[in-house]
Chains A and B, each alone.
Chain A
């Protein structure tokens, strides 16, 4: 009897150890890239830090003010970079119920657009007079997008049903018309594998669609109405990041996130990468790779240590400074090309 209890206790302990070991190494981990990063070409000098009232999910800088949106609290903040005063511009939790599919800012009209695919609406917040408005996206489905520089058009990612074909489109909701700019490889998963985010640069009039799970960044030049690609140094191929669920598809636990956030200026794309290179201690959320938006070539990398135990989550370029969000702290770095 005692021997059995002992052996069964060992079996119980063994099973628990196996599961604890599995939990300990769970998660997709950091993908390893084949080439070494260059850290000697570009330098980032720490300038300043700002503490916001909450952790933000969107960061935009315009006219000397930093705008941040905290999705959990559904609050839009504004911080004056000169006098560092922070005020709340918007607090409407009822308006943005559910997950927002994107927040975009139009510098020409100084308007924020909040995209909500579930309600098929785009909400507007006009900065100069605090006017709020909304319009329906009609029959044009969207699952993320960015306001274009001219007219009323949006550069959107759209998933067609029931084909599950994902495309990048230029959509004009005022005319209920759209043009397909790029079609992704067909995944049957409702677009999960091609999921990503948008960034744009006002000076070069370029817009970028940056996928979370692969190396192919789609650049859209609105002036020339031309699509081109920037291939990141990890060279991760598009692959199916989804698994079948009881209802539809879900993101696989093994889906490795490659690109987390980005910022642009007239000539460069700053990309917060979750990959690490051989022989380097590059934890997720510490490496920013810099690409030329003119040639598409990789130029160099920057590494930012954790700030108050938080990794970098958002980037924004304003003048010669790169603003990096670490949870609710924003740190500005002066960028020097050597």
Chain B
């Protein structure tokens, strides 16, 4: 059966989105996790300073967080694992956004433990940045369902 031109355009946009967004998210996670790994001691110390993480061992949380970030970055670019990656990315980005917002609005504005340019962002900008990627992850989850990527991974809507 032939597809209508509108449907073709929509499918093309969806395919474009599902290429750009997961790759962008993957790059973001690789960038953040790599910088934290390179400056691991500072990252562990920054976690230790967070008033929200007082009861959590920083030496346990730091490798766990890095592991999850790298795992998400690996899952996102590949079609069979993209959906799982987008779910994980949605959870991580939303949790980071809520964490930063809680620190910003209710606690001392401690420096963010993200490395590089992310760590230098002012809090409101960092929160907006995270929120944007959270929304993109959420949209990605909806778009991937029923797309060719989902069919390729052997799933149906």
Contact = CB atoms under 8 A, between A and B. Distances in A.
Interface stretch (B16-24, B27-35, B94-102): B94-102
A254 B87 CA distance: 32
Interface stretch (A21-29, A72-80, A105-113, A200-208): A21-29
A26 B108 contact: no
B111 interface: yes
Interface in B39-76: 48-56
Contacts of A8: 90, 138, 141
A281 interface: no
A15 B94 contact: yes
Interface of B: 48-56, 87, 90-91, 94-95, 98-99, 102, 106-111, 138, 141-142, 145, 157
B111 A26 contact: no
Given A243-B110, A251-B108, A7 B141 contact: yes
Candidate in A26, A28, A252 with the most chain B CB atoms within 10 angstroms: A26
A22 B51 CA distance: 9
A311 B56 CA distance: 27
Nearest to B138: A8
A4 B141 contact: yes
A11 B142 CA distance: 14
Interface of A: 1, 3-4, 7-8, 11-12, 14-16, 18-19, 22-23, 25-29, 243-246, 250-254
B98 A4 contact: no
A22 B52 contact: yes
Contact of A16 (B49, B54, B98, B106): B98
Contact of A253 (B49, B55, B91): B49
B99 A22 contact: yes
Contacts of B54: 25-29, 253-254
Contacts of A11: 87, 90-91, 94
A28 B50 CA distance: 10
A202 B113 CA distance: 49
Contacts of B87: 7, 11
B51 A254 contact: yes
B48 A19 contact: no
Nearest to A22: B52
A23 B157 contact: no
A27 B87 CA distance: 31
28 contacts: A1-B142, A1-B145, A8-B141, A11-B90, A14-B91, A16-B98, A19-B52, A19-B95, A22-B102, A23-B106, A25-B54, A25-B55, A26-B52, A26-B54, A27-B51, A27-B54, A28-B54, A29-B54, A243-B110, A245-B110, A252-B49, A252-B110, A253-B50, A253-B51, A253-B107, A253-B110, A254-B50, A254-B54
Contacts of A1: 142, 145, 157
A183 B94 CA distance: 47
A25 B141 CA distance: 32
A246 B108 CA distance: 12
A201 B138 CA distance: 65
B72 to A, nearest CB: 13
B157 A243 contact: no
A19 B52 CA distance: 8
Contacts of B48: 254
Contacts of A29: 54-55
